[in-house]
Chain A
Amino acid sequence: MPGLGISFGRGGATTFQQDLRNADCIVIQGSNMAECHPVGFQWVMEAKERGATLIHVDPRFTRTSAMADLHVPIRAGSDIAFLGGLIHYVLEHERYFKDYVLHYTNAANIIREGFQDTEDLDGFFSGYQSEEGKYDIATWQYEGVGGTVPAGGHKELYAEPGAGKGGDESGSARFEANKDSTLQHPRCVFQLLKRHFRRYTPAIVAKVCGVPEAQFLKVAEALCANSGRERTSAFCYAVGWTQHTVGVQYIRTASILQLLLGNIGRPGGGIMALRGHASIQGSTDVPTLYNLLPGYMPMPHAKQGLDLDQYLEDHEASTGWWSNLPKYAVSLLKAWFGDAATKENHFLFGHLPRLTGNHSHMQTVADMADGRVKGYFVMGENPAVGSSHGSLQRKGLRELDWLVVRDFTLIETAEFWRRAPEIQRGDVKTEDIRTEVFFFPAAAHTEKEGTFTNTQRLLQWRDKAVEPPGDARSELHFIYHLGRRLKALYAGSKARKDQPLQDVTWDYPTRGRAAEPSAEAVLQEINGYTVADRKLVSGFSDLKDDGSTASGCWIYSGCYANGVNQTARRKPGREQTWVAPEWGWAWPANRRMLYNRASADPEGRPWSERKKYVWWDAEKRRWTGEDVPDFIADRPPDYRPGKDARGVDALGGTDPFIMQVDGKAWLFAPSGMMDGPLPTHYEPPESPVENALYGQQCNPARLEWRRRDVPLHRAWADPRYPFVFTTYRVTEHHTAGGMSRWLSWLSELQPEQFCEVSPELAAERGLTNGGWATVRTARGDLECRVLVTERLRPLKLNGTWVHQIGLPYHWGVTGRIRASGANDLLPLVADPNVEIQESKAFTGDIVAGRHATGERSATSAVAPALPAGTPEARRDSLRVSEHAHDTQQEKLEQER
């Protein structure tokens, strides 16, 4: 979650669910919390009962809206304009928390002279390289600081601007030299922010988002009235914000707003990222992601060569917490390669494979469809239903030599060769598909032990209850025994390519007849130990860069402190404080609320008695309070680093954001963002309207796969596809359905694919409630039942009415209840920072009745041409090259 990472330093929710009860106002936007996180929603309800104002901003009136004091319908894909409008309001009416902003953010920093804003360049920032579709960020930097100011919280992409080291100078003084504490300098961040958002007026919000001014002002007033010393407001979001081509900037906009209001690191404040899978936070922390090593260290890039020193130099920050990176990187290599990893051989850093570009899920699928990927493992995911452009996903699967699927049951991804819309239609014959498919039944969570990391960074250990049925096994079992077999197959090899496998440590104790590996042993390795005596370390502060310690994921170090599985702690909530620090274990260092130093004023006193959380105890000379202080425990508020201070010493007593090189939260991001230092409203790649703010229609740095099998509609107002579609979950099902569509108790509650339309659209298109409709995009079509409801309203945008259609995406062609898959309608476009799919705003058509042809763009379908007289509409201004969004694979094709 780089949106949070860039702004604050860590890619995780800044607070925990129970803290929502302390909020005076809660804005839920980009999330349908009551439906998708009902049990977490109890804390919102509790806040409401305690008098908090609950606001839901959403295209639909949902079960969350039903509980809200204020529901604001908004056009899907326009949230930056809305949030930008709130920023504008806060700045314009001077409702920001001045002491907080001045001391804890980079508001006072002066940006280089060459910086130009989207206001100057009609939707671009300075540095845009039209040939590449990327930014050169030199002009975004702090004035007087050599090189790039490195981003703390997004060390994920090598290609990302500023992932590298912090320029030539070192020491904290460099960030202090060019500041204007009066916030008046025309190039200070505060003034740039004002200028950037000056046109995001209530009138523009109305025009872009379809939100009447009066409603918008209600939200603005509620937020401002409930922020400051005495009061705090919280934001909750989920994939309604992330699944866009500007998704990370959505989160950035909310981060800026919350910083201006002084709501980060304080009780009842924060930004609660609500994640949708049991351990999706964990699978980012201990990443099954191509661009990361455990603990948010970047995967090495081929350009860096095989030299560890080069890697460390590139990614180590001279100031702030990331100055510790060498300790964490070396400890990881020791955990992976054991005794074979020595100082002399650079701890076998050269063993790691190298990136050369985008190797994300979507790129891999495109490569797969083009025959470049031969073997595929899919474990507990169902891309044939859950991922963008289902028919391209299945085309990819058909081109494989072999596929391994591990799941509870025969999901669509396992059965693509005999159950898929294109098979049913006869476009593809089962006999012609050469893919060899292995289906392994998976053990359930009750049949194995281990930890999930929940949405608030909390690791919770589960004990094993029963044995898995038949040949079902855990993924731990599968991967361990696969590794054991491969080690045996390669045992005699002398080839250099096989050395990493030979050197990787793989000696986990096993138990029982099935030889199940010990998850505790794996968790202990993740926690880390001293190499000499295998004694478990107590936390990441014990880790060293000399090879004397090993740790599989530094941010999880401490989860096994004192030889005790801290994640298995289950002291009942009612027997401890409301923070419940003895239930499970949260990273980092069991801190439940991040950046909590900011809950105290610069002098270390609580901002108010009412919002007391962590403070400086002058007598004991320590930070103390309700939680583990997210700060150097004994660093006094009046500590000021020396001119040449480096590393953690460079963090002053008023620098609550310790992961950042300058200890401040970033209103303006000098680095780390692919698509601009400040969030800007761009239209989704398929929109009903032209961008009302800039000549540039779409995010100019977005990822777009321009392929014949991925047709896009006209950029705006496509007469063939006049309506806005948005996809989502409902309470009664889970994601792509693998864990819900087979269960009678859930399936009976939402038994069919349906869409939601307004009575006006129903009248216009002859749709009847409970009847059938066919929805279409250039990618495919789908039959579904119709719910005609007042919960969806047409929105008036700039004088024209825009209809929005809701489409839950849970169903597929197998299971107890079936449909052909809503994500088959999606294009393949993505955010440039995290390669996340755009599924929350696209265009399409709807007609009454059952008229699906089953045609798919990845097989035979060709969309009808634009009607005569309708010109193509450009997504990019003329200055953007045709090739800007060409993908790596397309270039390869051209080269051939």
Chain B
Amino acid sequence: MGVLDLLGRWPVFRQLRKGDTTALGDTAMSERSRTLEPRTVRADRVVKSVCPYCAVGCGQDVYVKDGRILDIEGDPDSPISRGRLCPKGAATFQLVTGNHRVRDVLYRRPGGTEWEKLPLEQAMDMVAERVKRTRDATWEDTDVNGLDVNRTLGIAHLGGATLDNEENYLIKKLFTALGIVQVENQARI
């Protein structure tokens, strides 16, 4: 690109030519400004969602293009939030797309000083094996008074208030079937 070309795209140059001294109107606009559009128009889908922070339950519109999130905004259709969001809700885009997100399964061995990466499938196998070992070692058919208890107090669980109902349901179902009774969540805090 030549210097003169560039100068030709300089708005003031065009304004001088057209005698527009107020910088109003077309003359002052660069090509970029003229064709400016919100990135949301490029979205191939708008997915209906719900804010993950507090329990107000604000509706969110998630704009997606090619499998990536372009933007997250309040959903004006929601009768609860009417399209509005608080600062946390407004920061959801950063929450889900930020580089703080860990992508790998990490493992710290006993006495270890660093994290190590683990393949997901291997880590799942290892956890299942730990559950079985601990459960078998700590199983109680009866308690100290001889009452049937069918349980292990060797394994416990914490968390649920940030998860989906379906997830809580499967956690409670599986852990109860395993005899784990110490299943708890944020309702205690």
Q: Which of A169-177, A225-233, A468-476, A798-806 contacts B (4 or more CB under 8 A)?
A: A468-476
Chain A's closest residue to B147 (CB) is A302
A446–B115 alpha-carbon span in the complex (Å): 27
Q: Taking the complex as formed, is B153 at the interface, i.e. its CB lies under 8 A from any CB of chain A?
A: yes
A621–B32 alpha-carbon span in the complex (Å): 67
Chain B's closest residue to A444 (CB) is B96
Contact indicator per residue, chain A 137-156, by CB within 8 Å of chain B (1) or not (0)? 00000000000000000000
Contact indicator per residue, chain A 679-712, by CB within 8 Å of chain B (1) or not (0)? 0000000000000000000000000000000000
A517–B180 alpha-carbon span in the complex (Å): 23
A129–B164 alpha-carbon span in the complex (Å): 41
Interchain nearest-CB distance for A346 vs B (Å): 13
Q: Taking the complex as formed, is A352 at the interface, i.e. its CB lies under 8 A from any CB of chain B?
A: yes
Question: Which residues on A sit within 8 Å (CB–CB) of B143?
Answer: 302, 354, 356
Interchain nearest-CB distance for A575 vs B (Å): 8
Q: Taking the complex as formed, is A372 at the interface, i.e. its CB lies under 8 A from any CB of chain B?
A: yes
A39–B82 alpha-carbon span in the complex (Å): 9
Question: Which residues on A sit within 8 Å (CB–CB) of B55?
Answer: 37, 274-281, 452, 454-455
Chain B's closest residue to A523 (CB) is B166
Given A287-B168, A440-B123, A463-B47, also A471-B128 (CB < 8 A): no
Evaluate contact between B156 and A380: CB separation under 8 angstroms: no
Evaluate contact between B182 and A731: CB separation under 8 angstroms: no
Evaluate contact between B154 and A455: CB separation under 8 angstroms: no
Evaluate contact between B189 and A375: CB separation under 8 angstroms: no
Given A36-B54, A356-B143, A519-B166, also A447-B96 (CB < 8 A): yes
Evaluate contact between B103 and A470: CB separation under 8 angstroms: yes
Evaluate contact between A278 and B187: CB separation under 8 angstroms: no
B171 contact from A466, A479, A552, Cβ within 8 A: A479
Question: Which residues on B sit within 8 Å (CB–CB) of A374?
Answer: 134, 137-138, 154-155
Q: Taking the complex as formed, is B17 at the interface, i.e. its CB lies under 8 A from any CB of chain A?
A: no
Question: Which residues on B sit within 8 Å (CB–CB) of A447?
Answer: 96
Interchain nearest-CB distance for B82 vs A (Å): 7
Question: A244-284: which residues lie under 8 A (CB-CB) from chain B?
Answer: 274-284
Evaluate contact between B179 and A446: CB separation under 8 angstroms: no
A836–B186 alpha-carbon span in the complex (Å): 9
Evaluate contact between A497 and B165: CB separation under 8 angstroms: no
A417–B163 alpha-carbon span in the complex (Å): 26
Evaluate contact between A408 and B186: CB separation under 8 angstroms: no
Given A287-B172, A526-B165, also A278-B186 (CB < 8 A): no
Evaluate contact between B161 and A279: CB separation under 8 angstroms: yes
Chain B's closest residue to A282 (CB) is B165
A377–B64 alpha-carbon span in the complex (Å): 33
Q: Which of B8-16, B21-29, B33-41, B67-75 contacts A (4 or more CB under 8 A)?
A: B67-75
Q: Which of A69-77, A426-434, A661-669, A849-857 contacts B (4 or more CB under 8 A)?
A: A426-434
Question: B167-189: which residues lie under 8 A (CB-CB) from chain A?
Answer: 167-174, 176-189
Q: Taking the complex as formed, is B148 at the interface, i.e. its CB lies under 8 A from any CB of chain A?
A: yes
Evaluate contact between A573 and B166: CB separation under 8 angstroms: no
A850–B134 alpha-carbon span in the complex (Å): 44
Evaluate contact between B170 and A285: CB separation under 8 angstroms: no
Chain B's closest residue to A524 (CB) is B166
Evaluate contact between A379 and B160: CB separation under 8 angstroms: yes
Given A437-B107, A745-B94, also A373-B47 (CB < 8 A): no
Evaluate contact between A471 and B120: CB separation under 8 angstroms: yes
A414–B67 alpha-carbon span in the complex (Å): 30
Evaluate contact between B79 and A836: CB separation under 8 angstroms: no
Q: Give the interface centre of A279, A482, A523, A734 by most chain B CB atoms within 10 Å.
A: A279
Q: Taking the complex as formed, is A120 at the interface, i.e. its CB lies under 8 A from any CB of chain B?
A: no
A745–B94 alpha-carbon span in the complex (Å): 8
Evaluate contact between B110 and A435: CB separation under 8 angstroms: yes
Evaluate contact between A288 and B171: CB separation under 8 angstroms: yes
Interchain nearest-CB distance for B113 vs A (Å): 5
Q: Which of A361-369, A627-635, A772-780, A788-796 contacts B (4 or more CB under 8 A)?
A: A361-369
Q: Give the interface centre of B85, B107, B167 by most chain A CB atoms within 10 Å.
A: B167
Evaluate contact between A376 and B132: CB separation under 8 angstroms: no
Number of interface residues of A (CB under 8 A): 168
Q: Which of A51-59, A381-389, A639-647, A762-770 contacts B (4 or more CB under 8 A)?
A: A381-389
Chain A's closest residue to B72 (CB) is A446
Question: Which residues on B sit within 8 Å (CB–CB) of A354?
Answer: 143, 147-151, 181
Question: Which residues on A sit within 8 Å (CB–CB) of B156?
Answer: 364, 368, 373, 375-377
Evaluate contact between B128 and A486: CB separation under 8 angstroms: yes
Interchain nearest-CB distance for A524 vs B (Å): 10
Given A375-B130, A749-B87, also A439-B106 (CB < 8 A): yes
Evaluate contact between B189 and A836: CB separation under 8 angstroms: yes
Question: Which residues on A sit within 8 Å (CB–CB) of B159?
Answer: 288, 377-381, 406
A500 contact from B112, B160, B165, B179, Cβ within 8 A: B179
A483–B51 alpha-carbon span in the complex (Å): 29
Question: Which residues on A sit within 8 Å (CB–CB) of B167?
Answer: 450, 474-476, 479
Evaluate contact between A452 and B189: CB separation under 8 angstroms: no
Evaluate contact between A445 and B101: CB separation under 8 angstroms: no
Chain B interface size, as a band, is 35 or more
Evaluate contact between A276 and B188: CB separation under 8 angstroms: no
Evaluate contact between B165 and A451: CB separation under 8 angstroms: yes
Q: Taking the complex as formed, is A847 at the interface, i.e. its CB lies under 8 A from any CB of chain B?
A: no
A431–B108 alpha-carbon span in the complex (Å): 11
Q: Taking the complex as formed, is B31 at the interface, i.e. its CB lies under 8 A from any CB of chain A?
A: no
Question: Which residues on A sit within 8 Å (CB–CB) of B166?
Answer: 450-451, 476, 519, 522-523, 526
Contact indicator per residue, chain B 108-135, by CB within 8 Å of chain A (1) or not (0)? 1111110100111001111111111010
Question: Which residues on A sit within 8 Å (CB–CB) of B189?
Answer: 239, 243, 361, 386-388, 836-837, 839
Evaluate contact between B131 and A486: CB separation under 8 angstroms: yes
Q: Taking the complex as formed, is A402 at the interface, i.e. its CB lies under 8 A from any CB of chain B?
A: yes
Question: Which residues on A sit within 8 Å (CB–CB) of B148?
Answer: 302, 305-306, 350, 354
Question: Which residues on A sit within 8 Å (CB–CB) of B42?
Answer: none
Q: Taking the complex as formed, is B102 at the interface, i.e. its CB lies under 8 A from any CB of chain A?
A: yes
Question: Which residues on A sit within 8 Å (CB–CB) of B149?
Answer: 302, 353-354, 356
Q: Taking the complex as formed, is A786 at the interface, i.e. its CB lies under 8 A from any CB of chain B?
A: no
Question: Which residues on A sit within 8 Å (CB–CB) of B151?
Answer: 353-354
Question: A159-215: which residues lie under 8 A (CB-CB) from chain B?
Answer: none
A182–B139 alpha-carbon span in the complex (Å): 58
Question: Which residues on A sit within 8 Å (CB–CB) of B154?
Answer: 372-375
Question: Which residues on B sit within 8 Å (CB–CB) of A526?
Answer: 165-166, 169
Evaluate contact between B165 and A376: CB separation under 8 angstroms: no
A473–B101 alpha-carbon span in the complex (Å): 12
Evaluate contact between A452 and B165: CB separation under 8 angstroms: yes
Q: Which of A308-316, A539-547, A736-744, A870-878 contacts B (4 or more CB under 8 A)?
A: A736-744
Interchain nearest-CB distance for B156 vs A (Å): 5
B186 contact from A372, A386, A519, Cβ within 8 A: A386
Interchain nearest-CB distance for A726 vs B (Å): 15
Question: Which residues on B sit within 8 Å (CB–CB) of A834?
Answer: 187-188
Q: Taking the complex as formed, is A103 at the interface, i.e. its CB lies under 8 A from any CB of chain B?
A: no
Evaluate contact between A482 and B158: CB separation under 8 angstroms: no
Q: Give the interface centre of A37, A383, A471 by most chain B CB atoms within 10 Å.
A: A471
Question: Which residues on B sit within 8 Å (CB–CB) of A383?
Answer: 158
Question: Which residues on A sit within 8 Å (CB–CB) of B179?
Answer: 353, 497, 500
Evaluate contact between B155 and A373: CB separation under 8 angstroms: yes
Q: Taking the complex as formed, is B7 at the interface, i.e. its CB lies under 8 A from any CB of chain A?
A: no
Chain B's closest residue to A280 (CB) is B161
Chain A's closest residue to B78 (CB) is A573
Evaluate contact between A353 and B64: CB separation under 8 angstroms: no
A473–B103 alpha-carbon span in the complex (Å): 10
A837–B186 alpha-carbon span in the complex (Å): 11
A481 contact from B79, B124, B155, Cβ within 8 A: B124
User: Would you give 18 A-B contacts (Cβ < 8 Å), ordered by A?
Assistant: A42-B84, A277-B161, A278-B50, A278-B57, A286-B169, A302-B147, A381-B159, A439-B115, A446-B72, A450-B167, A464-B47, A482-B127, A485-B128, A486-B132, A501-B178, A523-B165, A570-B77, A746-B87
Which 3 pairs across A and B sit closest by C-beta, in order of nearness?
Answer: A470-B103, A573-B79, A454-B57
Instruction: Add 14 more A-B contacts to A278-B50, A444-B96, A734-B53 (CB < 8 A).
Output: A18-B80, A274-B55, A287-B172, A354-B149, A364-B158, A373-B156, A378-B157, A380-B160, A409-B101, A437-B107, A454-B55, A458-B80, A501-B177, A519-B164
